[in-house]
Amino acid sequence: MATLNDWKVPYSAITFFERVLKSHKKVESYTRDKDILFTILRHPPLSAIQVLLVNEYTLGLAAVMRALTEFPGLNCIVTGGEWNAYTREAKQYGLDQEIGIYVISDFLGALNLQRIHTYVKKDKKG
């Protein structure tokens, strides 16, 4: 798979994410920088956000810290692919730092909130 980024996010994941953004009712527009960094303008009164798209099978704390070092000012880190997930430790660190840690389906719900990092999807067990 060809990639143009150090995070090994394939182009197919990037284009899928772009299609998702184009179809979301809260997204006014977006720009993409450094291949995987998205600045998303949301319809008012929602604020603009910076989102990093990664392709981590299990997004852990080390990858979150790397992302925040390489891309200061992030509001969210989204790991693409329906099989991907994140650790509880990464999610809690994100909550503590006011950074949303999401898989794509959860991110779609978070886009509706002003304080995007506060969205937590409950699983079937509640």
pLDDT tens across 18-52, in order? 999 999 999 999 999 999 999 999 999 999 999 99
Cα(48)–Cα(71) distance, rounded to whole angstroms?
A: 16
Q: What share of the chain is helix, strand, coil (3-state, %, to 5)?
A: 35, 25, 40
Cα(121)–Cα(126) distance, rounded to whole angstroms?
A: 9
**Global pTM value:** 0.93
* Phi, psi (deg, nearest 5) at residue 72: -60, 145
Q: What pLDDT is recorded for position 37?
A: 98
Give the domains, in start order, of the chain with CATH numbers.
11-118 (3.40.1340)
Q: Are 54 and 8 a contacting pair, CB within 8 Å? A: no
